[in-house]
Amino acid sequence: MRSDGAISLPDAWVEIDLDALAANLAAIKARLPAGCDYCAVVKSDAYGHGIDRVAPVLAEGGVSWAGITSNQDALALRRAGFTGRIMRLRGASLAEARDVAGLGVEELATSAEAARALSDPDAPVPVHLPLNAGGMGRDGIELAAEGGRAAAREILAMPGLRIAGLTTHFPAHDPEDLAASRARFEADVAWCLAEGGLSRDAVTVHAASSLGLLAEAGIEYDMLRAGAILWGIVGARAEFTDVMRLCARITSVNTLPEGASIGYDRAHVLGRESRIANLSIGYANGIRRSMANSAQVAVRGRLAPLIGKISMNALTVDVTDIPEAAPGDTVTLFGADGAARVTRAMVEEASGTIMADLYCDWGRSNRRQYSGGPPQAAAKNRTR
């Protein structure tokens, strides 16, 4: 530990490449239909990447909308200097909405009751009307139901609100399903415009669909919201790259005989004399216990199997076939190490979950190290 109390040598960490983030953003904008704006989804502390460091990249890339879920994310965006529009991507309690009233957060009017709570006849509040359109079944109002139409009519007529947007979230992305979802949403939008007497030019029509953008599915609205693609979670590797890499260190290497057991419950038994590397990372760092005896890591440019059950702050790797592996070596649990690469598909299969889930966990459970980004970011590229 340094004299200032900072930890100079982390035991486990994520490396976040802000230049890769900027490149993903540029690739997204190049794919947007003409006249379509982009809303960068930065909920859950920018999927674990750190809003304070992501916001300058978004600003430099010309992003004027950001999507959040928590008040902490909204506050972090404003503190990082983001001056664009912020919208919440889920329904909020009245207390949540009031807490960020001064930050310019645009809320969803998820029901007539929520809309009444948000409304202010003296200063109409901008809200977005979420339409289920046969979709996610979450916050959206379902116009196929009479109760949904009644709620929508009440919201559209409410004097204390200004309908700033009409929105949906597509739940599936095969071409036939996406085409049907688009048709339903567009019909619902037309109904709302007519019922509310809204000027089309005064309303932002927007939807969420990273995969729809990749499929070039004709999502030609005023704005597209996308999160996964920004972080490289989906998309061709040549065009969209991973922003995060997960690393730890070898703390020791032990030689154990054939027949020795590894980990809790003797979950792995060695079939030969083996060199076993112990790593300074475990389930407290977001390594799912389901990855036991199934995941691979990269050591000195080669892949090695993770064996035995995952402990809270440690796990074991068989490095018998990597004789040069030694204490102090950096091990890559996700990302590239020379010729070796632990891919998204490998990690998702071993963990049984998706990268968005893992990113949020890894980014919040480990120290972050940054590289690249706008010029003003250079001085901040240190371990956090």
The answer regarding whether domain 244-380 maps to CATH 3.40.50.720 reads no
Strand, helix or coil at 37?
strand
DSSP per residue, 292-326: TTT-EEEETTEEEEEES---SS-EEEE-TT-TT--
Q: Where in the chain is the domain with CATH 2.40.37.10?
A: 244-380
Strand, helix or coil at 8?
coil
Question: What tokens appear for 180 in the block?
Answer: 């049907």
C-alpha span between 291 and 382 (Å, rounded):
30
Residue positions annotated with a catalytic role: 43, 264
Local confidence pLDDT in tens for the 384 residues of the chain: 455 555 566 799 999 999 999 999 999 999 998 899 999 999 999 999 999 999 999 999 999 999 999 999 999 999 999 999 999 999 999 999 999 989 999 999 999 999 999 999 999 999 999 999 989 999 999 999 999 999 999 999 999 999 999 999 998 888 888 889 999 999 999 999 999 999 999 999 999 888 878 876 667 899 999 999 999 998 777 889 999 999 999 999 999 999 999 999 999 999 999 999 999 999 999 999 999 999 999 999 999 999 999 999 999 999 999 999 999 999 999 999 999 999 999 999 999 999 999 999 999 999 999 999 987 655 566 545
What is the third-level CATH fold of 32-231?
Answer: TIM Barrel (3.20.20)
Q: Where in the chain is the domain with CATH 3.20.20.10?
A: 32-231
Q: What is the dihedral of CA 188, 191, 196, 198, to 10 degrees?
A: 80
Number of H helices, E strands in the chain: 11, 19
Question: What tokens appear for 117 in the block?
Answer: 């709570």
C-alpha span between 166 and 177 (Å, rounded):
20
pTM, two decimals, is 0.92
Alpha-carbon torsion (138, 216, 173, 245), positive or negative = negative
